[in-house]
């Protein structure tokens, strides 16, 4: 039940936010929206409000916003194909942009929940260099060998930079300032020098937003790296997960705690936004490329021809999804 709830939450969150991006900018551009759907395949539920039908479909692998004149020619003055190229580009890009915004928000919630490390010590490992030297929980590190310490990152960086030699660690203990001498030890598992202390964590909106932005940039960078390795043969189908794999990953995250589900939701949201921007037929990136061609040519591509390209792309994506689903079942030994 926990896995099911977490999976429904993540899928609905990332898909609804993505489609809402298209929907909101379409409405702002006065485009007629015929349907807003979460999921693909047969319709489970549908309700019409105004000119738009809102539906829930059986297969939870995506969703869509069906706009008048998007895949067919239409003479309606409010159709997608009657709007300017800039307006249509904005509508197409809005889904991925909203996924990146969502990732920033949920990463921020995650980092606020777990807290950020401070320079105050929360725990000293028994038998460690810090323990033998006399450091204690509650001490706040201010200097290491004369180098000012302002963050936990400074602690790790300074110890690593100074190397395996005796260090003079200065701390605030109550109202007093005390110094302790110790020599870091190399941790073979982490391949770095440690003195055996853990930081006190505190929740800060500023630090959470900073970490969120940093994480978002890092994940997008990893996506570019993945695409590069895909073309050089550095990755294979075993490195790709589909809906079944995502359900498994979300389920494992839910066992750790629902807060970690937010982190996974952020990763999935970045992946969805990035993947949709790739120039693959049926995806937003392909539609954007057709609009770019229209801007360069000064006239639109035949909507029926473009529609056929997207239909073929959609069928290929469905086939690939079935293949990846089979691989996920084997990889995670689900049967």
Indicate which residues carry an active-site annotation. Answer: 19
CB 96 within 8 A of CB 274: yes
- Rounded (to 5) percent helix, strand, coil in the chain: 55, 20, 25
Rg value, the chain, Cα: 26
Encoding tokens for residue 319? Answer: 């086939």
What is the end-to-end Cα distance of the chain in Å, rounded?
Answer: 19
Contact 98, 65 (CB under 8 A): no
According to DSSP, residue 43 is labeled: E
Other Cβ atoms closer than 10 A to 60: 20
Q: Which helix (H) or strand (E) holds 182?
A: strand 176-182
Sign of the Cα pseudo-torsion (150, 154, 156, 158, in order): negative
Supply 140's token pair. 């706040």
């Amino acid at each position: 039940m926990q896995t099911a709830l977490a999976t429904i939450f993540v899928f609905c969150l990332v898909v609804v936010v993505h489609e809402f991006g298209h929907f909101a900018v379409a409405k702002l551009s006065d485009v007629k929206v015929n349907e807003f759907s979460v999921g693909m395949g047969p319709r489970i539920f549908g309700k019409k409000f105004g000119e738009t039908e809102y539906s829930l479909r059986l297969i939870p692998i995506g969703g869509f916003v069906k706009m008048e004149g998007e895949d067919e020619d239409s003479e309606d003055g409010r159709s997608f194909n009657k709007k300017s190229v800039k307006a249509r580009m904005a509508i197409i890009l809005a889904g991925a942009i909203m996924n990146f915004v969502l990732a920033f928000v949920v990463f921020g919630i995650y980092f606020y929940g777990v807290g950020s490390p401070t320079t105050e010590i929360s725990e000293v490992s028994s038998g460690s260099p810090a323990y033998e030297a006399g450091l204690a929980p509650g001490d706040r590190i201010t200097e290491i060998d004369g180098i000012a310490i302002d963050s936990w990152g400074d602690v790790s960086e300074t110890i690593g930079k100074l190397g395996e030699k005796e260090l003079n660690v200065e701390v605030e203990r109550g109202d007093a300032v005390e110094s302790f001498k110790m020599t870091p030890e190399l941790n073979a598992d982490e391949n770095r020098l440690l003195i055996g202390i853990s930081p006190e964590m505190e929740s800060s909106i500023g630090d959470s937003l900073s970490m969120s932005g940093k994480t978002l940039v890092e994940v997008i960078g990893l996506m570019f790296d993945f695409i590069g390795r895909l073309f050089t043969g550095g990755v294979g189908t075993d490195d790709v997960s589909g809906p079944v794999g995502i359900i498994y990953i979300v389920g494992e995250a839910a066992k750790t705690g629902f807060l970690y589900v937010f982190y996974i939701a952020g990763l999935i949201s970045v992946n969805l936004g990035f993947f949709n921007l790739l120039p693959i037929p049926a995806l937003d990136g392909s539609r954007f490329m057709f609009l770019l061609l229209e801007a360069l040519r000064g006239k639109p591509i035949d909507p029926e021809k473009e529609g056929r390209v997207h239909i073929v792309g959609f069928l290929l994506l469905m086939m690939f999804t079935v293949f990846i689903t089979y691989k996920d079942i084997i990889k995670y030994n689900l049967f």
